[in-house]
Structure 1
Amino acid sequence: MPLLPRWRYMTPNSQRSARRLGISVGVLLLGLLVKLPLTWLVVGLMVWWLWIGLKRH
């Protein structure tokens, strides 16, 4: 059973956005559990989002 019931009806762009959001939330939660500084987590996620965005264009 998929996590998002309507996953197969979503556009590819919506699927990418949902996947990217899920990974970001997971990284933030994992970082907070390991007690990494929030600043480093946010900077790391921003760099990752920029890298993904630039790689796509």
Structure 2
Amino acid sequence: MALLPRWQYMTDESKALVKRGAVSVLVLFVAAFLLRALLPWVLLALIAWFVWSWMNRR
């Protein structure tokens, strides 16, 4: 049985809890996707910064 037919019988508090949970899961997926996409660039920038600071010390 699908969740949607049960939606009409849920209390307002239960509906709010389900909505907050869904939004939280969506935010986690977006954050994981962005982290996966940006992590190589962040690591490359950190390595470049360390090399730059090491070269300026000499």
TM category (shorter chain) comes to 0.5 to 0.7
TM-score by length of 1: 0.53
Is the counterpart of residue 12 in structure 1 residue 9 in structure 2?
no
The higher relative CO (CA closer than 8 Å, separation ≥ 6) is in: 1
Give the number of equivalent residue pairs: 35
Measure the CA separation in 2 of the matches of 1:8 and 1:16: 13
Greater per-residue helix proportion: 2
Unaligned runs of 5+ in 1: 37-57
Q: Give 1 or 2 for the bigger CA radius of gyration.
A: 2
TM-score by length of 2: 0.53
Among all aligned residue pairs of Structure 1 and Structure 2, give the percentage whose two residues are the same amino acid: 40
State the 1:7 CA deviation.
0.7
Query: Deviation above 3 Å: which 4+ runs of structure 1?
Result: none
Unaligned runs of 5+ in 2: 37-58
